[in-house]
Amino acid sequence: MIRKVSPHITQNEPLLFEISSPGKRAYQLPALDVPAADPAKVLGAANVRDEITGFPEVSEVELVRHFSRLSTWNYSIDLGMYPLGSCTMKYNPRINEQVAGFEGLAWAHPYQPESLSQGAMEIMARLEDALAEITGMDAVTLQPAAGAHGELTGILLVRAALTARGNPRKEILVPDSAHGTNPATAAMAGYAVESIKSNSQGMIDLDVLSRAVTEDVAALMVTNPNTLGIFEENIAHAAGILHGKGALLYMDGANMNALVGVTRPGDFGVDVMHLNLHKTFSTPHGGGGPGSGPVAVKKAIEPFLPVPRLRTEAGQWRFDFARPQSIGRVRAFYGNFGMMVRALAYILAYGGDGLAKATMDAVLNANYIRARLDAHYDLPHDAPTLHECVFSDSRQAARGVKTGDIAKRLIDYGFHPYTVSFPLIVHGAMMIEPTESESKHELDLFIDALISIAKEVEENPDQVLTAPHSTRIGRVDEVAAARKPVLRWHP
């Protein structure tokens, strides 16, 4: 069965400003039980503003229906799969939210004294220990607020560790299969960036790497599995090359959903890495945050971790600021605490065996998609893939249909599009990551939709080139939207 979404029967929703009518109110307040006062006299005239010009005035029923109708337009992980590659948009179990909502945790204030924060500090300590065990590293900081922030923290740690040795060095190596934030992070940390070409199998070319590692190289930033979904099977050899020249190995852990419980980066030579709690460990993803990007390090780099660090004293948790080699704070307070609660709830609910099973299910799902779509879309690399697979649009492009067109047509079948045109090393990339959340039934619906679109390209390409057809707004001019954005509504 192929799922197609019929056009919605509800009308196009106007803006609240457009349905506004003077004098309407969406609230009703009880009569004052104290004498009325002049706000200007009580608060001071400087602290009282005039009515907001043009503020919408609507009734309660108009307000409720407006936002209820808008909510039916939203696509969410509760409605269907997000096949976005390299993003691990998995389902967030409700137990995570329940635990994070406990009053003592949700309302913990970052300024409250340590004596009243022992439970929160225990949660942080347990999460640090769990992440260290999962990654095979020796210490973890929870401060960074997102993955890219974790990257920057990690490279600052690399710089600090090398500076302590006497030379911070000048250059960071970044494979062409790494995440796009990696070179930006290295540049922000003050390093020059050199791109390392992949070999024909989509992996790091050890000969190229060996020639590139000089006395000026501080580290290699590798995403593993890389953005092709391929595990860098020579990663231990790469680590040996780097360490032999005094350089360090940094791993972008955004794709840890393919490794948890199966293998540990610390065991194959990684010195520093970041994790994305909002990817691998099932905390909310998207919407601008908050996120969390913990950084795990080997023992030699532990002295440089951001302050404060957790320690115990007389059976009580304390924050240790007396760390002279620390790079300092990278985040106000101690990171996004609610994300830590959710991640620990996820880890404890699954347990070690459950985390490994989730990893294997994610790999199985991706390879099932790869096997079923192989006859319909070009697979540029034949190396085994793990949690995601990357096709190209080359077969369809021969008929004038590109990856973006296929993605827009996928919307008509009721699915969120895959990642379009990334990674850049695959022309016309179609990057798909189902995660472990999806059942075979849902995967078959998604696969059947892509097979149907491939057939449409052969028989009626205009059907795809003009998609989407079932949305309230059809294909938009994306170039104009990017170059001439409308940032403010004018009545």
Q: Along the 491 residues of the chain, how does pLDDT read in single tens digits?
A: 455 544 445 567 889 999 999 999 998 889 889 988 999 999 999 999 887 888 899 999 999 999 998 888 888 888 899 999 988 999 999 999 999 999 999 999 989 999 999 999 999 999 999 999 999 999 999 999 999 999 999 999 999 999 999 999 999 999 999 988 999 999 999 999 999 999 999 999 999 999 999 999 999 999 999 999 999 999 999 999 999 999 999 999 999 999 999 999 999 999 999 999 999 999 987 665 688 999 999 999 999 999 999 999 999 999 999 999 999 999 988 889 999 999 999 999 999 999 999 999 999 999 999 999 999 999 999 899 999 999 999 999 999 999 999 999 999 999 999 999 999 999 999 999 999 999 999 999 999 999 999 999 999 999 999 999 988 888 988 889 899 988 876 55
Cα(184)–Cα(149) distance, integer angstroms = 11
Domains 94-348 and 361-481 share a fold: no
Looking at residue 11, its pLDDT comes to 60
Q: For the chain, what is the HEC assignment? A: CCCCCCCCCCCCCCCCCCCCCCCCCCCCCCCCCCCCCCHHHHHCHHHCCCCCCCCCCCCHHHHHHHHHHHHCCCCCCCCCCCCECCCCCCCCCHHHHHHHCCHHHHCCCCCCCHHHCHHHHHHHHHHHHHHHHHHCCCEEECCCCCHHHHHHHHHHHHHHHHHHHCCCCCEEEEECCCCCHHHHHHHHCCCEEEEECECCCCCECHHHHHHHCCCCEEEEEEECCCCCCCCCCCHHHHHHHHHHCCCEEEEEECCHHHCCCCCCHHHHCCCEEEECCCCCCCCCCCCCCCCCCCEEECHHHHHHCCCCEEEEECCEEEEECCCCCCCCCCCCCCCCHHHHHHHHHHHHHHHHHHHHHHHHHHHHHHHHHHHHHCCCCECCCCCCCCCCEEEECHHHHCCCCCHHHHHHHHHHCCCCCCEECCCCCCCCEEEECCCCCCCHHHHHHHHHHHHHHHHHHHHCHHHHHCCCCCCCCCCCCHHHHHHCCCCCCCC
Looking at residue 132, its pLDDT comes to 98
Looking at residue 10, its pLDDT comes to 53
Q: Where are the domains of the chain?
A: 1-73, 94-348, 361-481
Looking at residue 74, its pLDDT comes to 82
Looking at residue 488, its pLDDT comes to 74
Q: Angle formed by the axes of helices 440-459 and 403-412, to 10°?
A: 120
Cα(263)–Cα(404) distance, integer angstroms = 35
Superfamily of domain 361-481: Aspartate Aminotransferase, domain 1 (3.90.1150.10)
Cα(146)–Cα(292) distance, integer angstroms = 4
Q: Are 386 and 86 in contact (CB under 8 A)?
A: no
- What's the fold here for domain 94-348? Aspartate Aminotransferase; domain 2 (3.40.640)
